[in-house]
Amino acid sequence: MQAQQQHLTDVVDAIQRYLHAHPEAVDSADGIAKWWLPADWCVDVHTVETALARLLEQGLIRRRINTDRHVLYSR
């Protein structure tokens, strides 16, 4: 359980680092899993969504639904 929590914390931190380096970035959970995180991590979308939920709760990111009904996340 502790390893899972550490992995989730690592994903949260990586998303925050990406947004710090790319403040205008906007993407879906799938895109974040594929493009924002180190390729060798192989993080599943469910973990990314959990990390995004944590960041949303803390008010560190925004969530919006575009006209195509895609959920997008940004700073």
The string of pLDDT tens digits covering residues 49-70 is 999 999 999 999 999 999 999 9
Cα–Cα distance for residue pair 2/26, rounded to 1 Å: 30
Convert 9-48 to b/e letters by CB count within 10 Å (16 or more is b). Answer: ebbbebbbebbeeeeebebbbebbbeebbeeeeebeeebb
Range of the domain at 61: 2-74
For 22-35, the pLDDT digits (tens) are 999 999 999 999 99
Query: What pLDDT is stored for residue 54 in this prediction?
Result: 97
Instruction: Examine the pLDDT at 1 and tell me if it is beyond 90.
Output: no
- Number of domains observed in the structure of the chain: 1
What is the side-by-side order of every strand in the sheet holding 26-27?
26-27, 71-74, 62-65
Cα–Cα distance for residue pair 62/38, rounded to 1 Å: 22
Tell me the CATH number at 37: 1.10.10.10
Cα–Cα distance for residue pair 20/33, rounded to 1 Å: 17
